[in-house]
Amino acid sequence: MKSQRNISEFILLGLSYDQNIQVFCFVLFLVCYVALLAGNLLILVSIRCSPLFHQPMYYFLSHLSLIDICYTSTVTPKLIADLLVERKTISYSNCMLQVFTMHFFGGTEIFVLTAMAFDRYAAICKPLHYVTVMNRTRCNLLVVAAWAGGAVHAFPLFSTAIGLPFCGPNEIDHYFCDIFPLLKVACTDTYVTGILVIAFSGLVALVTFIVLFVSYGIILFTLRNLSAEGRRKALSTCWSHITVVVLFFGPVIFIYLRPPTTFPEDKIFALFYTIIAPMFNPLIYTLRNSEMKNMMRKVWCHTLFSKETHN
């Protein structure tokens, strides 16, 4: 702990040194963040204010939207603000907090996506037992388990980060605090620690991805027994889920399932799971879902009509 006190803040090197690129990224990420917040809030409020909230798929989707808002908000506002300043700093305590919240919400998102895959498996492969299998009690338990799983995933990584000694240099080659960049600037041998990080992050992501891949494989195989209309509707939902899974898990596995080191490309890949995937989730889940679009139209048209009548 004594060596940690030698550093009270870290300097983030950010995405680029080029001023023009930073201005372009500021505008781009500001638009992306506003679109992300608007899209996920729209889904969250629409589901909460409609009968869809009582359907398991949309119940999980509302939680996914909430998690996406929290998850990206741990990194994106700081990234956008740093693009306007020359010296990008973050205090030691805020850095450690960012490590915890990133992995907490990221881990929770992984488990919510798993719950959504289980819901689709039950709906398509066990349709006669779906109402019994996916009752509200079980849905609540799955959501609680997802949040608890996120905490179980984050605490060991947070404990690892907070236990690292830092005595200089304090420059982190990233746009946010993450465990691998911190290992690089720690003044101790971090090989064993890096292996533990791979076990807690990389292997969790890989095993979950394999489970999801097998689940959707079984679902797609089962679709051959459905009618043409049932197959079309199920495929539309499943491809939406698969797209989200690939956008999120691909970059995560690339970064965390390898020897503890960092590459310049890591910052680009990290953009996918911190900004791009959460921004596209509302588009993916609404544009391919006629039920969701119709309900959003009803909810917001009713809201606007009520306001006009009241006025």
Q: What percent of the chain has pLDDT over 70?
A: 90
pLDDT at residue 69 in the model: 93
What order do you get walking across the sheet with 171-172 strand by strand? Answer: 89-91, 9-12, 171-172
Model confidence at 299, in pLDDT bands (50, 70, 90)? low
Q: What is the mean pLDDT of residues 241-265?
A: 81
Distance, in Å, from the CA atom of 123 to the CA atom of 230, rounded to the nearest integer, reads 11
Helix (H) or strand (E) holding 128: none
Distance, in Å, from the CA atom of 86 to the CA atom of 166, rounded to the nearest integer, reads 23
| Residue 168 region by backbone torsions, left for phi larger than 0, else alpha for psi between -120 and 50, else beta | left
Distance, in Å, from the CA atom of 126 to the CA atom of 128, rounded to the nearest integer, reads 6
Predicted confidence (pLDDT) per residue in 9-40, tens digit? 899 988 878 888 889 989 999 999 999 998 89
What are the Cα distances from residue 114, in Å, to 146, 203, 215?
Answer: 9, 15, 9
Predicted confidence (pLDDT) per residue in 206-236, tens digit? 888 888 888 888 888 887 777 777 677 777 7
Instruction: Quote the mean pLDDT of the chain.
Output: 84
Residue 2 has pLDDT above 50, yes or no: no
Distance, in Å, from the CA atom of 170 to the CA atom of 303, rounded to the nearest integer, reads 51
- 98, 270 in Cβ contact below 8 A? no
pLDDT at residue 212 in the model: 87
Q: What percent of the chain has pLDDT over 90?
A: 26
Residue 310 has pLDDT above 60, yes or no: no
- 28, 86 in Cβ contact below 8 A? no
Strands (E), the chain: 9-12, 89-91, 171-172
pLDDT at residue 91 in the model: 92
Residue 290 has pLDDT above 70, yes or no: no
Q: Which residues contact 45 (CB under 8 A, 6 or more apart)?
A: 299
Residue 308 has pLDDT above 60, yes or no: no
The CA R_g of the chain, rounded to the nearest whole Å, is 21
- 88, 13 in Cβ contact below 8 A? yes
The amino acid sitting at 66 is: L
Predicted confidence (pLDDT) per residue in 68-116, tens digit? 999 999 999 999 999 988 889 999 999 999 999 999 999 999 999 999 8
Q: Which residue has the higher pLDDT, 294 or 167?
A: 167
Q: What are phi and psi of 226, to 5 degrees?
A: -90, 165
